[in-house]
Amino acid sequence: MLKLNAVLLFILDFYIFFALRATNIKFIRTTWFTVLWWGYSLSLLIGLFISFQYSIPLMIRSIILVAFFLTAVSKFIYAIVLIVDDARRGGIWLSRLFSNKKGKDLEESVEELEKPLPEVPKKGITRSDFLLKSGIVVAALPMIPLAWGVISTAYDYRIRRQKLVLPNLPKAFHGMKIAQISDVHSGSFYNKKAVMGGVEMLLGEKPDAIFFTGDLVNNVASEMRDYQDIFSKLHADLGVFSTLGNHDYGDYYYGPGDSPAKRKNLQDVIDTHKVMGWDLLMDENRTLKVGNEEISIVGVQNWGTGRFPKKGDLKKALMGTEDKAVKLLLSHDPSHWRAQVLDTDVDAMFAGHTHGMQFGVRGENFQWSPAKFIYKEWAGLYTEKQSQLYVNVGFGFLGYPGRVGIAPEITVFELVTA
């Protein structure tokens, strides 16, 4: 995948470079520009390769990834502008080619494309020059919010408070406080102090129980090496319960098949939960008891629709919970709710996975993200058939090392009777 991305980026670089050289911007025609353009691109690709293949300081790795992401986004947007202009030029060229007009050379047709814009003075720019130069501005615009999302929002943890009304909730559990975090993605972190601040923020809420709903790592268990001591501090009187997400199985690193290294990595992830004192629920359940009353905490391995792993066994996980008044389910992927959970007597499901695509708008009464076009339930609370689903948009980040409009989330629930 890394080699494929490198090839695609080089193709994009060549396409944009020669398009820029066709403009009348003097600096772009100099040797200095050529050296800077290709020097930066090669350095970025080499840095990206090193960051994935070797162990380097997290801060340096993050700088490389941020630079790569912002550069790729800008080049992609600019390439779209170029493609539009090339399509325009090609369309006119073809129309001239197949026209019945005689005596016009094809080269004259190309020259026709370069006539100045109607309202531009004689020394104005051509249509193509106008598109190429304005495209530079358009491509640069996303850099501002994306850079701000890295600098200001990546670790800007927010507490979202949510009352969870459960009609069958035993009185002893009325007012119980549960905190949820999801999608830590420790392999993306580069600021231990900021992460510690988020953990302390959660602990300051003094929850009775804590839920973690999957994706502890990006790919491999060793990513938790620098953060295990921080998340080990999470503690609650009734326990810290966790489950696995799609990234925890190592599929994106070792491939979809089975191998000894992949099995060992998964076991290392499982052991990390245990070392931190988290109760990892692998298609099983636990009973929470307050006084003489009980509820069930159920956890399944990842189960998602489409291309995502279907590891979880919900039927197995629910065995032995038949007599419990309330069942709270931890399942990483929100698509599991509509696909299977709604057909059970689970009262509420807690999920993550979507990240809110780390981009959008989220207020108290309105929220929007491109995630809505992929997931019907992508952030917040949903209710159907006497069942509820809450989707947490994540504690960490993946790919783009920041967030724009979708802050990292710590959810604090208050359980209440109807």
Element (H or E) spanning 64, and its range? helix 58-97
Tell me the per-residue pLDDT of 239-295, one tens digit each, with 9 for 90 and over.
999 999 999 999 989 988 899 999 999 999 999 999 999 999 999 999 999 999 999
Output the pLDDT for position 171.
95
Question: What are the pLDDT digits (tens) for 363-374?
Answer: 888 998 888 888
- How large is the average pLDDT for residues 156-171? 96
Q: What's the confidence (pLDDT) of residue 134?
A: 61
Closest by CA position to 212, among listed 236, 183, 192? 183
Strand positions, DSSP E, 28-128: none
Residue type, 325: A
Give the pLDDT confidence score for residue 286 in this predicted structure.
98
pLDDT at 112 over 80: no
10 SS3 class: helix
State what percent of residues in the chain have pLDDT above 70: 81
pLDDT at 60 over 70: no
Give me the domains of the chain, ranges plus CATH numbers. Answer: 2-141 (no CATH), 155-416 (3.60.21.10)
pLDDT in tens, 322-351: 999 999 999 999 999 999 999 999 999 999
pLDDT band at 83 (very low <50, low <70, confident <90, very high): confident
**Of 46-50, 104-108, 190-194, which has the strongest mean pLDDT?**
190-194
| Residue 358 burial (CB count, 10 A) | 26
Q: Render pLDDT for 200-242 as a digit per residue (tens, 0 to 9).
A: 999 999 999 999 999 999 999 999 999 999 999 999 999 999 9
Integer angstrom CA distances of residue 29 from 21, 37, 135, 144, 317: 6, 12, 18, 27, 66
